[in-house]
Chains A and B, each alone.
Chain A
């Protein structure tokens, strides 16, 4: 199976800005699905709302574009009714952790067998640049003109409070690593969360000192390091942590 068979190419050109990390998340998710022979006969995609929430609709399978923050609840219900199918959620940081924060907490606790790929670009892109729950403290956004006052949410830390968890972190520069994380997440029996650090050059990057996406990618390469066999990921560690 070729990954492009899993993408609705007839919908192109897509709705994302040039240089946006979402394309990389979508493409690499499709590559993993293709490699695992997962298609419309055995897989269902779910999204929330936002730029990242548009991803599910580009996959060439039954896709549910649910409501803002509600992708996880939607996915869990779908998995309940269609237990033989893989259910993959593709959404963003604002959707999953802010308006969807309560659902994130409780879905993770109930541990349904679903996979979540989060395009974590630390910003509300579609509404043009407000701080999200993962925006680093001090960052300029349109709603924090003097720098974001709050510490970002610690998703890795929240998941590690669960008796059983799967958390992976990668970036849109480390694409092979991202693919490995997504594949392992799909294979995990339970709630598997892949946190993909991603760029939003137009709405975020340009306002915090990056001229183009490649500069952000270079930053990811420089700043984030792949680690193996650890129980806890440091803030700039990439890898998989899980507990049976």
Chain B
């Protein structure tokens, strides 16, 4: 049966489907619905835990700590809160805590335009925190995908033993569509693998430590070995999720867009080829290289000034055209001028 589901709601339902049982967060647009849903859930279900923390710093620490304690833990925030969480995310990478950070982007920098969508935190999701680590991030473009990808995100976090960033934006968060949850293909939830706190004599520390948790700050080999280990694991897990959509058309132009932008430019996909990355990190290098072959024009449309475009250029080794959609309005009418400028075509002619 189809029900009307918003992106935030769908993500939350998907998190439950994945077995999530701990949420800590702090109110922020456009993700507050998830905080509210988690609070309601905790009232109904004793085995679901909820904390409205004093700030995002505390929320993120609580999520990583709850994960170590044995929960499947997650939070939901937007750019400013995500910035405050970065310290704990870095810690999460070091103590190898499977966690999911839902980040629905809005216009920035700073407070920006809180209820208007953007895609300006792509690079923050990649390396917003300090130190060497290997991000995993997914980005859906519909409520149905928020649901299925939530399970994928929790599974990937568990397999890679690291924080996973679930990127979203204000449009997808608040996009309501009829979804038949029963009809969706959902991967089985990966169970917790590491024994919870209170069962051993382990030391979970942010310090460069050996496998026993003993600090070895004076020994570069120990830290190097750890980096190699987590890099390898990240790559292996990423290989299981080469998620993207590629629509090939008889065209000399490939458009690249993701999240809500890919929905807005959907009418152009009849005329031009289109590539939509779903796994944002690690960057889909091989897939992009293959998809980009043979096109005269490669145009990246995104609600930021070329953050993903830069990564595409790095992956495929050539420059791409960029159409930035800034200020919180992602619409076809705004593409009209840049489309003419970049491709020399009228929007009306290609619709």
Contacts and interface: CB of A to CB of B under 8 A. Distances in A.
A57 interface: yes
Kindly name the residue among A8, A76, A102 whose own CB sees the greatest number of chain B CB atoms within 10 A: A76
Kindly name the residue among A15, A43, A67 whose own CB sees the greatest number of chain B CB atoms within 10 A: A67
B91 A66 contact: yes
Given A67-B87, A70-B88, A81 B71 contact: yes
Given A73-B58, A77-B24, A81-B70, A65 B65 contact: no
Contacts, number: 117
B49 A57 contact: no
B197 A85 contact: yes
Kindly name the residue among A15, A66, A75 whose own CB sees the greatest number of chain B CB atoms within 10 A: A66
Nearest to A57: B203
B66 A66 contact: no
B54 A81 contact: no
A211 interface: no
B203 A103 contact: no
A186 to B, nearest CB: 15
B327 interface: no
A39 B200 CA distance: 10
B200 A40 contact: yes
A70 B198 contact: no
9 contacts: A40-B199, A60-B201, A62-B198, A63-B203, A66-B206, A77-B51, A77-B65, A78-B65, A81-B197
A42 interface: yes
Contact of A62 (B58, B202, B214): B202
B57 interface: yes
Interface of A: 8, 11, 15, 40-44, 46, 56-57, 60-67, 70, 73-78, 80-82, 85, 102-103, 105-106
B88 A67 contact: yes
Interface string B47-89: 0010101110110011111101111010000000000000110
A64 B68 contact: yes
Given A62-B199, A62-B201, A82-B197, 11 more contacts: A40-B198, A44-B69, A61-B201, A66-B61, A73-B62, A74-B62, A77-B24, A77-B51, A78-B197, A80-B49, A106-B53
Contact of B91 (A57, A67, A78, A82): A67
Interface in B219-270: none
A101 to B, nearest CB: 11
B22 interface: yes
